[in-house]
Structure 1
Amino acid sequence: MRRTLVAGSVAAWLVLAAVMLPVSVAQSTIFQGTPTPDPDDQTQVMAQLRADYPRVDGSTSAYPLQMTIACHVYAVPCSWQENPFAEDYYGPAFDADITPELLDRLWGIVHSGTHGSYMNLIAGDADIILVAREPSGDELTAAADLGVDLDVRPVALDAFVFLLHVDNPIDYLTLDTIRAIYTGEMTTWAGAGMYQPGLDALINPYQRNPNSGSQELMLRLVMGDLSMINAPDMILPGMMGPINVVGDDPYGVGYSVYFYAVHINAHPNIKLAGIEGVRPTPKTIADWTYPLTTEVYVVVRDDMPPDSTTVLLRDWLLTEEGQAVVASSGYVAILPKED
């Protein structure tokens, strides 16, 4: 059973195929189906993964999920650690009672960002990645040039969100309003419903850099065939950029993903806009009523040996036990919990 990339429905996951056919992501499809590991043999699965843990990479926003998985596999207690100078992080405390070798192994897990991790996977410098979007056209071209096919499967739910300053009286935006803002058709917040006497209230529409996970989601989920305004000085690199800049700009608007904006880099001056009258919450993401609900993907090269720990980890993540670990990270599990 397969369905087209991006569009999805929780209902589609209620009936799981018994066999998954190998299909290249270049054909614009993703997999769903019953994973291959025996869910009753978790001890053996964990032992195999600990003996030969794959080389991992992924999106910035998916790093806590990656660490949650590794901590589970290695049976290491992990939690959110506060970082007063940058983003909070998830992992073992620096004074955790574990061997230096294991601590180094866990802290050796790094994420290169969405585009960087795709390129590392394609080049053979990573075995498995967790990413906030399916591959971009540039990434598919790079894969095709090297004769690489990508196996892309949804592993969790997230959401594409729009960031507003808490002092902005607007709480909801429509997709048409967002498109008007980012094509330059709408330039003042008065046009979006905000009016403050004596102020021009010009909209400052911040963007992300090309090929970043957030920018690709913006183009695919919101803009479609519309061209965004050419404003190089409004392009912000890195996921921290929109959070920090909009947090200091009452007239700014930017975009990110829900997990990052809520769990990794929550900002006291940032609120998430409701879209088409629906606020992004775990519930509205889980039932897909939030209109910009997205999927997080686990991706491997299609030529990975079926008996490799890379494939074992990928398939285990799609079992009930693996999805429970996904849910423990704060992401919304993609498979319904069985009664």
Structure 2
Amino acid sequence: MDYRFLGRSGLKVPVLSFGTGTFGGTGPLFGAWGNTDVEEARRLLDICLEAGINLFDTADVYSAGASEEVLGAALKGRRETALISTKTSLPMGDGPNDAGSSRFRLIRAVEDALKRLGTDYIDILQLHAFDAATPVEEVLSTLDTLVRAGKVRYVGVSNFSGWQIMKALAVADRHGWPRYVANQVYYSLIGRDYEWDLMPLGADQGLGALVWSPLGWGRLTGKIRRGAPLPEGSRLHDTASYGPPVEDGHLYRVVDALMEIAGEVDKTVPQVAINWLTQRPTVSSVIIGARNEDQLRQNLGAVGWTLSAEQIARLDAASAVAAPYPHFPYRRQEGFARLDPPIAG
């Protein structure tokens, strides 16, 4: 397993990490993903650790805390072998202080997460959404308190816009508070919006991307084909409306390219899609999920080999979309190079 620094920090994380959204799954969204109990979770973690995956991602909102509880129980007795990443800020109830990133909420959320996880520290704490109602100074000073208390090691964000991240980084620098080093983002061959603002920001400011839904909300599993109906048993029957939309024509162009290249390298469509992500700039780790051991072992086959530059170029071309304002395509033309400097891989 390849290990990379998490953004501009000294923490190394595996290029593949494991998402626990299926653990203890309940409700219309997480129940459709899976319902992994402690015994099965322990076996999946065994396989991950044996393969070198030691970063496990969860969130308080995943099945109302059940995911954290199952993860904590599955790691019991071997906490020191793992890195735990969890998230908070999304609503956990209907009370006036059950959502957001206020000092009250963050401290309570961390204490609750520590209990559910059965640990006394969180390796990476990420804010799951921007809280427009709480002053940035209050959020960051609270995170500083939690880091100084030893309850949190590193901090990051998820689902933030570029200006929201930059505002927070400026305030953190002004006061000497911990900077965000992780940005958990939606990114895939059928969802490349990350590249326009957040990727350059990450390269400039030192945020490592932790990629969620690398298979485009289940669309790049290899089971969805041009001209064929949605397969029976696909979670998209129940969860498509929860994820980012994808135009059919665009999806099939990407799937066609993936299938062609998968045949050339003797890999599966998901393995090719994930491998492409591991070679993108600023990506520290790609979060894979699995409902069972077979799915996990299949995803592990996404690393240990490399797509050629020509194959990457074909995937880039098949998945390219028109640039939104203000990233007009003319900025990519000859003579405008200094406006969009290259991002090192």
Q: Which has the higher helix share?
A: 2
For the criterion TM > 0.5, the same-fold answer is no
Q: Which has the higher strand share?
A: 1
TM norm structure 1: 0.29
